[in-house]
Amino acid sequence: MADTDSPTAGASPVSPIDRDLEAHLAAHDDEQLQRLLALLRIPSISALPAHAPDVAAAAEWLAGELRRLGLDDVQVVATPLHPLVTARWHRRPGAPTAIVYCHYDVQPVDPVDQWETAPFEPFVRDGRIVGRGSADDKGQIVMHLAALEALLAVHGALPLNLTFVFEGEEEYGSESIMAWLRANREALRADLVVISDTGFFEGNIPALTVGLRGITYAQVDVYGAPVDLHSGQYGGVVENPVNALARIISALKGPDGRVRIPGFYEDVLPLPEAEQARLAALPFDEEAYRLGTGVRELVGETGFTTLERRGARPTLDVNGIWGGFQGEGAKTIIPAEAHAKVSCRLVANQDPDRIFALLRAHVAEIAPPGVRVEVRLIHGGRPILTPTDHPAILAAARALEAVYGQPPVFIREGGSIPVAAAFGEVLGLPVVLYGLTQPASNAHAPNEWLAVENFERGARAIVRLWQELAELPR
Amino acid sequence: MADTDSPTAGASPVSPIDRDLEAHLAAHDDEQLQRLLALLRIPSISALPAHAPDVAAAAEWLAGELRRLGLDDVQVVATPLHPLVTARWHRRPGAPTAIVYCHYDVQPVDPVDQWETAPFEPFVRDGRIVGRGSADDKGQIVMHLAALEALLAVHGALPLNLTFVFEGEEEYGSESIMAWLRANREALRADLVVISDTGFFEGNIPALTVGLRGITYAQVDVYGAPVDLHSGQYGGVVENPVNALARIISALKGPDGRVRIPGFYEDVLPLPEAEQARLAALPFDEEAYRLGTGVRELVGETGFTTLERRGARPTLDVNGIWGGFQGEGAKTIIPAEAHAKVSCRLVANQDPDRIFALLRAHVAEIAPPGVRVEVRLIHGGRPILTPTDHPAILAAARALEAVYGQPPVFIREGGSIPVAAAFGEVLGLPVVLYGLTQPASNAHAPNEWLAVENFERGARAIVRLWQELAELPR
């Protein structure tokens, strides 16, 4: 999947934006690249307390850029953890208002020995910008800055009103922004939310992500005797918590990939035939995808395709398990306890709290006698599904088609962006996931990269997005 | 179970051994107790390399005692790990020869904060000798020394020939002695083996253990993708190694307690009706036993009683499991791999290697597609079952009845003593498990103890055993 640096789209080499804007962008492409490299050099890892000053430095850098561009109300907003950076340009009364969200924090760099070079000493090679955060999500931030700069320099104004919200703890749970959103509903009045934190379809095919799965993440704890028992003396007369946990887990999902929690599928919206057809028509190389995962065989819920399973169907996975002896050799015990992290990925219209209640009830139902079983919620997040015929989605599709020369594909991604669901829910706004990177960009992994071409075209796609959205009826 | 210090047997307060022997033993009971305390002060923990000098010191102490008693060929035999201590008294040609086995090493003391006092500063309180090794197995060693001393002092001779083999790594796998046994078959010619490393029945009822379970201990490894995958991006399209392992484990034993490995029960000898009746007649307080384990409910194979399940039926337990994320909170991964330690306790006539082959074949059969599954043997040990009508068992039963005033019960224990099976197999000899401690003695746990009464009567029971065995036809 990594051999597709060049967009497979892009038949039209002519810029789809007006000549002056294009001339300005082309004249400043390298300057914007240097700007991105400067931001990439700040190791703003939100998960590691030692990097808190770096996160703060990235926030200040970003606020400085927004001030330089002449935006209003540029603020670095303190939160319980890492700051938000907010700004606005609301000088076109009567035009639509969009909230723009990206995040300026990055993932940790482990395993650092698998990086070809230092993660925070970014460089450009073979058309790729390599460094932590290049794709996720600093590259998209600087694309937005470049688009702003071009529009303001050439036209002296934006075609619509924008409110910027840049987060500094997206890679660490987005907790602070959730409370902040609820407390600032009024100030965040807008017509829609544009989030640039996703990517294109396999092989760099322009795409709009219209679905993100939600999540219910729980822990199952099984307790037997108060201490480990000798497996010779007690084997066969007491329930073994690990055996019990294995039985519970295997009762949660069948070998057919179906989740066996009663009621689990009750709220799932069936995939419309038109979308099934659209997914089936995607140029998806399943064998290349399998090779990318490194597994022997792709498996999943009977009756669905891989793309359907990945984005349009809910599922259940154990994320971790532990209990008893884990060392070399043998220890003959019946462990006192066993534990598992169990999470469900949810699709529209499933509710994370209801799914947790169903999970807990089912586990209680099947828990064997002789052990005590507890299930507790660790966190939940709602799924997102934006109708593909929503005017904002259609506008975004027009923008992508104009810039990339082909209409984007609509995709549902398997992951969750809790803050995306929160924007939609708390503010009651449609969310457009306008992501411009390649799926194979090694986000969260060593040697993260962003194609220079995606970086440069992305700025143009954002310019065009604002132009398309400006035309939306209010 | 700990409120039964006094033997429930012992109606006869009159010593069943002759007056001079009893007088000598009675005159030296306290001296023998002091001797035991001296041995208990040596922290001969075989599992911890730092204690190797202590294990060596205990071996030297023991060799010194055997020399003081005038035994022949007293040797401290070096092995790849901890030494054996051997000695013999073969001065009665024509009489039977017994090999006597005990072990002078002890378990580690963790969790040391749960000990009332220091584990290697033994003391006597309320009729109990408290200290690591008091029951397992140093107390029984000193009972043997006391019996020897009395017989040699009063009669100037033993009634039969004895070969002593004291091991220093029983609590660490008995590896060295296995090779030594095979290499010394000739020197170990005898009529039977007496092992004092078991105990009485619940509540201190005199007992002879005629069955010990064997073991097949294996590890199951399940491999999926080469690295952890994002559970959002890949959940539902790749097999999860932990889910797969849970499914495998739950296919190994049913909720009815039956092992589901095809062929698993094929070689199991059915429990004779007479023995079923004998087990059923034992004064077994199941509720007290349950309380001792701390579990909510005793469970097990349908159709069998707790005592049958514990000693006469094979079973399967997971001794440990691990895979993926084990920390606080959440990590949304599909683990790259998952592992479990799985062991089967075996009963007569099951073969550990055959059981491993069946286990491996069954796991291969049920392993889901999409993952690679490996099963490897960690170790195996054969079960033991001595017929209750064997002349040596009958002689031992007579000895216990004479000393405790009631015939012993015959029990099958759930644990394994690999060296016991090895003595039987390598030397082709019957094994008499002549253990004289209480089952509730906290062997392997904090605050290990031995009742002073068991210690003193034990020496008499050993004297009487030698007298009974001396009469065996050769």
List, for residues B117-132, the tens digit of each pLDDT value: 899 999 999 999 999 9
pTM of the predicted model as reported, rounded to 2 decimal places: 0.86
Residue A399 pLDDT: 97
Interchain contact B453–A (C-beta under 8 A): no
Mean pLDDT for chain A overall: 93
Taking the C-alpha atoms of residue A419 and residue A175, their distance in angstroms, rounded to an integer, is 9
With beta carbons less than 8 A apart as the criterion, state whether A448 and A137 touch: no
Contacts of B125 (CB under 8 A, 6+ apart): none
Whose structure tokens read 């600093």?
A138
Looking at chain B, the whole-number percentage of residues with pLDDT higher than 90 is: 81
Question: For residue A219, which of A335, A73, A321 has the smallest C-alpha distance?
Answer: A321
Question: What does the H/E/C string look like for B407-458?
Answer: CCEEEEECCCCHHHHHHHHHHCCCEEECCCECCCCCCCCCCCEEEHHHHHHH
Has residue B139 got a pLDDT over 50?
yes
Has residue B439 got a pLDDT over 50?
yes
Interchain contact B226–A (C-beta under 8 A): yes
List the catalytic residue out of B65, B105, B337, B401: B105
Categorize the per-residue pLDDT at A6 as very low, low, confident or very high, splitting at 50, 70 and 90: very low
With 0-12 / 13-18 / 19 or more C-beta atoms within 10 angstroms meaning exposed / middle / buried, residue B425 is middle
Residue B89 pLDDT: 98
Q: What's the distance, Cα to Cα, between the start and end of chain B in Å?
A: 41
Mean pLDDT of B296-314: 95
Question: For residue A315, which of A287, A278, A344, A342 has the smallest C-alpha distance?
Answer: A344
Inter-axis angle of helices A418-427 and A175-183, nearest 10: 10
| Lowest-confidence region among A168-172, A331-335, B132-136, B441-445 | B441-445
Residue ranges of the alpha helices (H) in A82-138? Answer: none
Mean pLDDT of A123-136: 96
Inter-axis angle of helices A452-470 and A139-155, nearest 10: 50
List the catalytic residue out of A54, A105, A137, A308: A105
| Chain A closest-CA separation from residue B222 CA (Å) | 12
Contacts of B49 (CB under 8 A, 6+ apart): none
Has residue B462 got a pLDDT over 90?
yes
Has residue A62 got a pLDDT over 90?
yes
Has residue B162 got a pLDDT over 60?
yes
Residue A4 pLDDT: 34
Q: Which residues pair with A235 in a beta bridge?
A: A238
Residue B317, both tokens = 């337990």
Residue A17 pLDDT: 83
Which residue in chain B has the smallest CA separation from A298? Answer: B238
In tens, the pLDDT along B215-252 reads 999 999 999 999 888 899 899 999 999 999 999 999 99
Mean pLDDT of B91-105: 97
- Output DSSP code: residue A112: G
Taking the C-alpha atoms of residue B60 and residue B396, their distance in angstroms, rounded to an integer, is 30
Has residue B434 got a pLDDT over 50?
yes
Taking the C-alpha atoms of residue A64 and residue A74, their distance in angstroms, rounded to an integer, is 9
| Lowest-confidence region among A40-54, A331-345, B254-268, B269-283 | B269-283
Question: For residue B160, which of B191, B117, B197, B126 has the smallest C-alpha distance?
Answer: B191
Cβ contacts (< 8 Å) between A319 and chain B: which residues? 231, 242, 324-325, 330-335
Residue A358 pLDDT: 98
- Is B197 noted as a catalytic residue in this protein? no
Interchain contact B447–A (C-beta under 8 A): no
What ipTM score was computed for the predicted complex, to two decimals? Answer: 0.86
Residue B276 pLDDT: 92
Cβ contacts (< 8 Å) between A366 and chain B: which residues? none
Percent of chain A as helix, strand, coil, to the nearest 5: 35, 25, 40
Question: For residue A426, which of A182, A84, A167, A179 has the smallest C-alpha distance?
Answer: A182
In tens, the pLDDT along B325-358 reads 998 888 889 999 999 999 999 999 999 999 999 9
Mean pLDDT of A36-57: 96
Other CB atoms within a 10 A radius of the CB of residue B274 amount to 9
Residue A408, both tokens = 């984007």
CB burial of A241-251 (b: ≥16 within 10 Å; e: otherwise) equals: bbbbbbbbbbb
Whose structure tokens read 């593909």?
A388
Has residue A7 got a pLDDT over 80?
no
Categorize the per-residue pLDDT at B12 as very low, low, confident or very high, splitting at 50, 70 and 90: very low
Whose structure tokens read 């159709």?
B303
Residue predicted with more confidence, A103 or A116: A103
In tens, the pLDDT along A389-424 reads 999 999 999 999 999 999 999 999 998 888 899 999
In tens, the pLDDT along A352-380 reads 999 999 999 999 999 999 999 999 999 88
Has residue A343 got a pLDDT over 90?
yes
Which residue in chain B has the smallest CA separation from A371? Answer: B296
Interchain contact B363–A (C-beta under 8 A): no
Mean pLDDT of A434-444: 91
Interchain contact A303–B (C-beta under 8 A): no
Categorize the per-residue pLDDT at B417 as very low, low, confident or very high, splitting at 50, 70 and 90: confident
Cβ contacts (< 8 Å) between B318 and chain A: which residues? 240, 242-243, 246, 323-324, 335
Q: Which helix H or strand E contains B372, and what residues bound it?
A: strand B372-381
CB burial of A153-165 (b: ≥16 within 10 Å; e: otherwise) equals: ebeeebbbbbbbb
Has residue A8 got a pLDDT over 80?
no
| Lowest-confidence region among A187-201, B239-253, B275-289, B365-379 | B275-289
List the catalytic residue out of B54, B136, B149, B170: B170
| Chain A closest-CA separation from residue B143 CA (Å) | 25
Has residue A131 got a pLDDT over 80?
yes
Taking the C-alpha atoms of residue A457 and residue A433, their distance in angstroms, rounded to an integer, is 17
Residue A114, both tokens = 């698998």
Mean pLDDT for chain B overall: 93
Residue B332 pLDDT: 86
| Chain A closest-CA separation from residue B175 CA (Å) | 13
Are the beta carbons of A321 and B322 separated by less than 8 Å?
A: yes
Are the beta carbons of A321 and B242 separated by less than 8 Å?
A: yes
Mean pLDDT of A14-30: 88
Among the partner residues A213, A215, A293, nearest to B229 by beta-carbon distance: A293
**Which residues 230-249 on chain B approach chain A with CB closer than 8 angstroms?**
230-240, 242-243, 245-247, 249
Taking the C-alpha atoms of residue B222 and residue A164, their distance in angstroms, rounded to an integer, is 47
Taking the C-alpha atoms of residue B466 and residue B474, their distance in angstroms, rounded to an integer, is 14
- Is A105 noted as a catalytic residue in this protein? yes
Residue B215 pLDDT: 94
Residue A15 pLDDT: 54
Categorize the per-residue pLDDT at A246 as very low, low, confident or very high, splitting at 50, 70 and 90: very high
Are the beta carbons of B329 and A224 separated by less than 8 Å?
A: no
Among the partner residues B237, B243, B321, nearest to A324 by beta-carbon distance: B321
In angstroms, the Cα distances linking A388 to A97, A394, A410, A412 are 20, 7, 7, 11
Which of B256, B296, B318, B416 is the best residue to mutate to test the A interface, defined by the most A CB atoms within 10 Å of its own CB? B318
Taking the C-alpha atoms of residue A246 and residue B366, their distance in angstroms, rounded to an integer, is 15
Mean pLDDT of B285-306: 94
Looking at chain B, the whole-number percentage of residues with pLDDT higher than 70 is: 97
CA-CA-CA-CA torsion sign (A350, A354, A357, A358):
negative
Are the beta carbons of A233 and B414 separated by less than 8 Å?
A: yes
Categorize the per-residue pLDDT at A10 as very low, low, confident or very high, splitting at 50, 70 and 90: very low
Residue B2 pLDDT: 31
